[in-house]
Structure formats: C-alpha cells, structure tokens
C-alpha cells in the first residue's frame, strides 16, 4: 500500500511537470525561429536541455507505469484471496436455514459474483481518483494563471458526465438485484450441461437440447436487459461529450483571441491546449472513477449484506460441559417445521434413545426421520419442546463440543475428490488420525478390500475430477461409512447405512458394526427391514410421531404397522 500510494503521487505530479516543460521547449523554439539566425553552441544547449529533460520525464513516466501495474497485480491477488476468505468464513459459519431460502442463495451469488473483480476495481478506482485529483489540481493551477474562471469552465464541461455515470451505476445495480435469480438459473443450466453428475441422464433422456435452449433463451433475456441499459447510457454520454467539446472550444477561442491581441505567446497556446484538454480528460476520468467507486460501493453493500448475516443457531453465552451420555437422549414434546414451510414435520414428538442401545427408526418417506438427525446435530432447533442429553438441553452446550460426541453417516454423503485415505480422515480431520486408524475404519465399513484393489491403494484419488478412480454408489457409501466410524463418538447416527449394499454384504456388515459400536448409543434410520430387525429397539414413525416401539419380535406380536410392513415384505419375497 505504501509503494502504491507513493507511485500514485508521482504519477499524479508528473503530467503537470511535463506540460510545464513543454511550454518552455515551445517558447525557446519560438524565440529562435522569430530571430531567424543560426543559434550559437550555448544557445543550442539551452534549447536541447529542456528537450532532453522532457524525454527523461517521459521515460520516467513509463517506468512508473510499469512498476505501478506490477504493484496492482500483486496487490490485487492478495485482496482477491482476502475477500474470498471473508466469504468462506461467513458462509461456513451460517447454519443450514440460510440455504433453505432463495434470498440466501441470491445474497451469496451477488457477493461471490463480484468478489474477484469488485474489490480490485474499487482499489484501482480509488487510486485513479487520487492520482487524477493531484494532476487536475496542478492543471487547474496552471490554467488559473490566465483567468480565475477557466478552471470553473473545465468543471462545468464535465458535470453532465458525472450525472450519466451515477445514473447508470444505480440503474445497473437495480437491474442486477431484479435479475439475480435468473443469473443463478443460468449458472444452474450451465452446471447441468457441463458436469459428470448430470451427464448420463441428459444423454439418456435426450435433455441436452432442452437445457441448451433454456440457457440460451435466458441469456438472451439478460443480454437484452443489459443492452437497453447500455443504449440509454450511450445516448446520454454522447450528449455529455458534445457539451464538453463546446466548453473546450469556448476556452480555446478565448485563448486564441488573447494571442492575436498579443497578450499570450505560442507556448501559452500549447500549454493552455494541453492543460485544458488533459484537465477535461482528467475530469472525465475523475467522474468515471467516482462512478466506479459508487458502483463498487454498491457491491460492498451486497458483500456486507452477506457478511452481516447471522446464524439462527448460536452458542449460549455460558455453555455447559457435555454430559457423559450415561442415561439417555430424549426428544420431549418436539414440534418442528422447516423455515418458510407451512408443513409441520414433527408434532408433540417424544423419543428416548437409551445409552448403549442400538435403536432403529422406520417410517414412510417424508415422515421426518432425517429431520431427527438435523435436530440432534443442532443444524436446527425445535420450534417447541426440547432435546436433552442426560437431562440437559443441548441448546445449553457449545455446538462444536456437542458435535464432537456425534458421528453421522448422512443419507447423501459427500464424495470428496481426494485420496481414499483423506476421504476417511475427514471424519476426524482435526485430530490428524494415524494410517492404522484409517485402515481400521475402512475394515469396519467393508471399504478396505475395495480400496486395496485401487492402483495406489489408500493413496488413490477418488472420483474423476482430478484423474482418479471412480467408485460405484455402494462403494462410495462404504467409504463414507469408514469416515463415520473413524470418529470416536458416543452417539453414532446412520441414515440408510445399507441402502446401497447387496443382501449378502448387509448381514456381514451388521455383525461387524455391533462389535464396533459396543458401548455406544446408536440411531439407525432405514427403509430396509433386514437392517432394522437387528436393532435392540425399533421405533415406527407416522404423521410426525412415534406410534410403535419394541423389538422385532415384540412388534410382530402387536400386529400393527410394523407387522403390516413385515408381511408385505414376506409376500414380495415369495413372489
């Protein structure tokens, strides 16, 4: 910043010195031309010294320009990284409710779209503003030596340009806010057309033309909106430019009349033309810089709109230590609906997960089974009721401390395109697990055999983004299971852990899992009766409540919903 500021000052003063030196060169040449005699050696030196000085000034100006570009490039990279860090820090601190709302995505899109260019543009605009102000002040001082009103004429010629710049910046920002959702939709169409995740369905269902057409139509609409804004700006800029030329002509006519009257020389005309022309250009740049700053400040409004967004889930001011989970985790009269939704997923929901017990939850899609996981992890808080661990409300605990006691296999686990070892190590990355622990977790999940068959074993990069080995859906799930098993936690939560395992692997996996989970509290959510039947206790959900609980045998004896599901399964097996 210090070097940048020094360069701005020198680059701002240099044009004023150059114009002044030009007048001296012209006046010396005009003097010798008017005499009509051959100049002596000393007189020639008096002419050439200002010319040489002028050449050195131009060379120095080129050096300053090159150094300035290098400084801005280095400085811009640092600012870009810093702004990216700000956005990443804020977004990763927000809870899941931020992503449940289109307005949240709009805020994130506006901040991310300009995070690369706007901060650098703001810095450059402010630098140019300072540099042009210094140069303009020097030019105004030179022009004011002829008449006090000449600098005022210079300012008057550029006022319309200021109005055009500010008006366009405001209209452009208003247009962007109105069309943020359409810009995001374009990004989504582009993602569908260019990623592997969507490639097979786009080809099988022949959706390529449909999404290409949708993308092009939406882009055409956006282009039309921008073109209308730019057309309006063009016409107003043209009128402002004509007005500026008229003021320049007025000033030059006045200076020519002074020269004819003998009150000014040829050097004065050159200086006036250069100073007034550069002054007008500087004023135009100055106003454009002001408009750019205004536009970039509107970006900062978008950025700070995101950076000041606070998470809905917060830690208590005085968090309590996490209980040892020796008794039970309880849902006590919990009511919950997702933000912005009218549908209540849980109503007066009660559930007890006893310490050291393997519990399974069974229910139809949309009953809120996965929602229980999100509430347990404190991604959301209940609207009514509470969740307790050994009698203590989990809202009285620090989120990070509580989550350290939980390990989760989510229903749709992430596929990290890093090495197999790193994929598993992500389960407890802050502890930097040893390779022996990673291999043990892979063995427990059934992923070990798969990984050892890869070209570089645990060092093989998974996925195709970076030239690695692709896995099947079931193999990815086993890697995710290993990631969950690696974390040393008192509460193990598995959402559809066997959904992608074959029937031969499912039984073997559960036997290994029982050994691994010994002494832990386990919650399993599954649609597969072959998995839930092996739990210590099974809870059946319906309409946001637990309607049946018991062991596999007890529930069959009751003849309720679980018995109906079991009988349907048996009929399908016979068929």
pLDDT in tens, 325-354: 989 999 999 999 988 788 888 989 999 999
pLDDT in tens, 509-525: 777 777 778 889 999 99
Q: Higher-confidence residue: 461 or 101?
A: 461
Q: Give the pLDDT confidence score for residue 46 in this predicted structure.
A: 62
Q: Give the pLDDT confidence score for residue 384 in this predicted structure.
A: 94
pLDDT in tens, 281-323: 766 666 667 767 777 776 677 778 888 888 888 899 999 999 9
Q: Which of 42-46, 156-160, 328-332, 369-373 has the lowest average pLDDT? A: 42-46
Q: Give the pLDDT confidence score for residue 573 in this predicted structure.
A: 40
Name the strands in the sheet holding 392-393, side by side, starting at the edge strand that comes first in the sequence. 346-354, 328-336, 384-389, 392-393
Q: Give the pLDDT confidence score for residue 168 in this predicted structure.
A: 73
Name the strands in the sheet holding 491-495, side by side, starting at the edge strand that comes first in the sequence. 406-409, 491-495, 521-525, 358-362, 537-542, 545-550
How large a percentage of the chain has pLDDT more than 70? 82
Q: Give the pLDDT confidence score for residue 255 in this predicted structure.
A: 72
Confidence of residue 571 (pLDDT cuts 50, 70, 90): very low
Alpha helices in 115-149 (DSSP H): 118-144
Dihedral (CA of 23, 26, 28, 31) sign: negative
Is 572 a residue whose pLDDT tops 50? no
Mean pLDDT over each residue of the chain, to the nearest integer: 81
Write the DSSP string, 144-182: HTT-TTHHHHHHHTTHHHHHHHHHHHHHHHHHHHHTHHH
How large a percentage of the chain has pLDDT more than 90? 21
- The predicted model scores a pTM of 0.69
Q: Give the pLDDT confidence score for residue 575 in this predicted structure.
A: 32
Confidence of residue 45 (pLDDT cuts 50, 70, 90): low
Q: Give the pLDDT confidence score for residue 37 in this predicted structure.
A: 56
Q: Give the pLDDT confidence score for residue 399 in this predicted structure.
A: 92
Q: Which of 467-471, 527-531, 539-543 has the lowest average pLDDT? A: 527-531
Q: Give the pLDDT confidence score for residue 507 in this predicted structure.
A: 62
Cβ 394 vs Cβ 330: under 8 Å: no
Is 178 a residue whose pLDDT tops 50? yes
Identify which of 136-145, 242-251, 528-537 has the greatest average pLDDT: 528-537
Domains of the chain listed by start with CATH number: 2-307 (1.20.1560.10), 328-405+489-574 (3.40.50.300), 419-482 (no CATH)
Q: Give the pLDDT confidence score for residue 524 in this predicted structure.
A: 92
């Amino acid at each position: 910043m210090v070097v940048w500021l020094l360069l701005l000052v020198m680059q701002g003063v240099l044009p004023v010195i150059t114009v002044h030196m030009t007048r001296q060169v012209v006046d010396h040449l005009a003097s010798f031309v008017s005499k009509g005699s051959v100049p002596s050696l000393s007189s020639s030196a008096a002419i050439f010294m200002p010319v040489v000085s002028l050449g050195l000034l131009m060379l120095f100006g080129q050096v300053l320009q090159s150094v300035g570009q290098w400084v801005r490039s280095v400085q811009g990279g640092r600012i870009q990284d810093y702004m990216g860090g700000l956005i990443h820090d804020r977004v990763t601190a927000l809870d899941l409710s931020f992503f449940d709302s289109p307005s949240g995505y709009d805020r994130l899109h506006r901040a991310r779209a300009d995070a690369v260019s706007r901060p650098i543009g703001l810095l450059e605009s402010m630098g140019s503003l300072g540099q042009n102000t210094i140069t303009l002040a020097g030019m105004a001082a030179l022009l004011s030596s002829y008449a006090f009103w000449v600098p005022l004429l210079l300012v008057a010629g550029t006022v319309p340009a200021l109005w055009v710049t500010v008006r366009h910046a405001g209209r452009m920002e208003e247009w962007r806010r109105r069309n943020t959702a359409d810009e995001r939709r374009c990004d989504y169409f582009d993602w569908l057309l260019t990623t592997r995740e969507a490639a097979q369905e786009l080809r099988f269902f022949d959706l390529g033309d449909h999404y290409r057409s949708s993308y092009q139509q939406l882009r055409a609409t956006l282009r039309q909106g921008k073109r209308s804004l730019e057309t309006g700006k063009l016409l107003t800029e043209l009128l402002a430019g004509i007005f500026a030329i008229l003021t320049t002509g007025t000033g030059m006519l006045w200076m020519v009349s002074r020269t004819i009257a003998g009150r000014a020389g040829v050097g004065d005309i050159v200086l006036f033309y250069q100073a007034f022309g550069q002054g007008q250009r500087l004023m135009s740049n100055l106003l454009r810089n002001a408009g750019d700053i205004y536009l970039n400040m509107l970006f900062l409004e978008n950025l700070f709109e995101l950076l000041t967004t606070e998470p809905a889930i917060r830690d208590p001011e005085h968090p309590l230590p996490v209980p040892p989970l020796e008794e039970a985790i309880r849902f006590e009269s919990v009511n919950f609906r997702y933000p912005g939704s009218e549908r209540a997923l849980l109503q007066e929901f009660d559930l007890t997960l006893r310490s050291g017990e393997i519990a399974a939850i069974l229910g139809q899609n949309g009953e809120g089974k996965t929602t229980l996981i999100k509430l347990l992890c404190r991604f959301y808080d209940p609207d009514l009721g509470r969740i307790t661990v050994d009698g203590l409300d989990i809202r009285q605990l620090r989120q990070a401390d509580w989550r350290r006691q939980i390990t989760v296999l989510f229903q749709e686990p992430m596929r990290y395109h890093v090495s197999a070892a790193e994929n598993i190590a992500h389960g407890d990355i802050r502890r930097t697990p040893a390779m022996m622990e990673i291999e043990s977790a892979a063995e427990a999940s059934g992923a070990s055999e798969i990984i050892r068959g890869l070209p570089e074993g645990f060092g093989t990069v998974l996925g195709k983004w970076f030239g690695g080995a692709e896995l099947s859906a079931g193999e990815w799930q086993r890697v995710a299971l290993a990631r969950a098993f690696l974390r040393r936690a008192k509460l193990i939560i598995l959402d559809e852990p066997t959904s992608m395992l074959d029937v031969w692997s499912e039984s073997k996996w559960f036997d290994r899992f029982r050994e691994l989970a010994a002494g832990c509290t386990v919650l399993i959510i599954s649609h597969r009766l072959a998995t839930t039947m092996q739990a210590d206790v099974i809870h059946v959900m319906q309409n946001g409540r637990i309607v049946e609980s018991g062991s596999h045998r007890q529930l069959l004896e009751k003849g309720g919903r679980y018995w109906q599901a079991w009988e349907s399964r048996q009929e399908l097996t016979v068929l």
